[in-house]
Homo-oligomer: A and B are copies of this chain.
Amino acid sequence: MPAEKDVVKELKKLGNKVLEDIEKGENPNIEIPIRALSNVVFDKKTGQIILGDKTSKRYYFNVAHAKKFMQTLLVAAFCKSLKDEKIHASIRDMYYNLKRTLPNSDENIFDEQSESDPIIVDLEVAIDILRENLNLTTDRKGIVSGNVIIQDRGDSIDWSKLGSGGWSIPSTVDEIDFKKVDAEFALVVEKNAGFERLHEDKFWQKQKCILIGTGGQPSRGTRLLIQRLNKEHGMPIYVLTDSDSYGFYIYSVIKSGSISLAHVSDRIATPEAKFIGLTVSDIFDYDLKKMTIKTKEVDIKRAKELLNYEWFKKPKWQKEINLMIEKGIKAEIEALSSRGLKFMSETYLPQKIKKGDFLD
């Protein structure tokens, strides 16, 4: 996490740059990396989907730029005030807070939230600071349990003592302090139901791990948490999803980031994450054939797209995806329950971990 003063420093730098332009009598401008697909690349070295180095300039004296220029500075000023007051706001709160009519005009600062949302991303890339560090919250979704004690907003929270509930992962994950992390790996489960089953079986206790439920595509906060556990605490990350194109894609987003959030991959992706299952091979290895679902046209179309993504161009992945296409089947995590409700926690996962049977 960038220190608080650095965030404010970057915001001030942006403002000072504009002031200097004015003092020099130049057309005030802000340089913003381009976020179009044409500037998104897969960086093989870091294993992340990132922005390339193309940038564009947003000018004050330019009829096509002037409004967005004003909006960008207002959003930056809003974030500065959040930092000063030490409070957080959602991007919708921000939209309403800034929505007003300019004096002596009919011009609104923003008419729709669809106008203010991209300006936040512009600011994120322009000063290279996550919106979470600009005190803008994002929607939360995940849950976590495990032998971990954190300090957050003055509270000491023991993730191993939260009953059946677990800790609801906020978007402000960058602000928590890890006081104790006593685990050998973190298991990230796509489905909350899978989290509940494993949580009830005390999987995290027996396997000495941290258990994270994402409830589908993980929220930004959950991705940040996964990265912090990996980077700061050396936690291996194992991802468990359904054996289908959507599950494989969730894994790839955790590992390599996504095209739409390419500008923050270095902050929220975890290239060291590994896929523990369900693989298509697992269906055969663990006798789940009768529990599969026939793929639909859309599954096959998506699978063929995955085959062409740089980050899936690894022999093991190509084999798995091709096997899915060839057999025309997919399977849900819960298919493992056909072998007994505790089969996942007591047999399947321990076996895969012991054998180191992961896809990378």
Chain A residues with a Cβ under 8 A of chain B:
87-90, 92-97, 99-101, 137, 139-140, 143, 150-157, 161-172, 175-176, 192-193, 196-197, 200-201, 290-291, 332, 334-338, 340-342
B335 touches A96 (CB 8 A): yes
Q: Is the CB of A291 within 8 A of B165?
A: no
Q: Are the CB atoms of A290 and B93 closer together than 8 Å?
A: no
Give the distance to chain B from A90, nearest Cβ to Cβ, in Å: 4
Q: Which residues of B contact A172 (CB under 8 A)?
A: 164
User: Chain B residues near A166 (CB, 8 Å)?
Assistant: 167-168, 170
| A151 contacts across to B, CB distance below 8 A | 163
A161 to B164, CA, bound (A): 17
Taking a contact as CB atoms closer than 8 A, the residue among B163, B176, B332 that contacts A153 in the complex is B163
Q: Which residues of B contact A152 (CB under 8 A)?
A: 162-165
Assembled-state Cα–Cα distance A290/B335 (Å): 52
Assess whether B290 is in contact with A100, with CB atoms less than 8 Å apart.
Answer: yes
A329 smallest CB distance to B (angstroms): 15
For A155, the chain B residues whose CB sits under 8 A away are 161-163
Given contacts A140-B196, A290-B99, contact A341 B164 (CB under 8 A): no
Choose one: B137, B171, B341; the contact of A93 (CB below 8 Å). B341
Q: Can you sample 28 A-B contacts with CB below 8 Å? A: A87-B201, A88-B196, A88-B197, A88-B200, A90-B193, A92-B193, A92-B334, A92-B337, A93-B197, A94-B337, A95-B334, A96-B335, A97-B337, A97-B338, A140-B196, A143-B168, A150-B163, A152-B162, A153-B163, A155-B163, A162-B167, A162-B168, A163-B176, A164-B172, A164-B176, A165-B168, A166-B167, A168-B168
A334 pairs with B93, CB closer than 8 A: yes
- Copies of this protein in the complex: 2
Contacts of A162 on B, CB cut-off 8 Å? 152, 155, 157, 167-168
Q: Across the interface, do B163 and A197 meet the contact criterion of CB distance under 8 Å?
A: no
Q: How far is the CA of A201 from the CA of B87 in the complex (A)?
A: 8
| Closest chain B residue to A344, Cβ basis | B93
> In the complex, how many angstroms separate the beta carbon of A45 from the nearest chain B beta carbon?
35
The reply to whether A156 and B161 form a contact with Cβ atoms under 8 Å apart is: yes
B161 touches A90 (CB 8 A): no
Cα separation A289 to B170 with both chains bound (whole Å) = 32
Q: How far is the CB of A130 from chain B (nearest CB, A)?
A: 16
A88 to B195, CA, bound (A): 12
Which residues on B sit within 8 Å (CB–CB) of A156?
161
CB distance from A102 to the nearest CB of B (A): 13
Q: Which residues of B contact A334 (CB under 8 A)?
A: 90, 92-93, 95-96
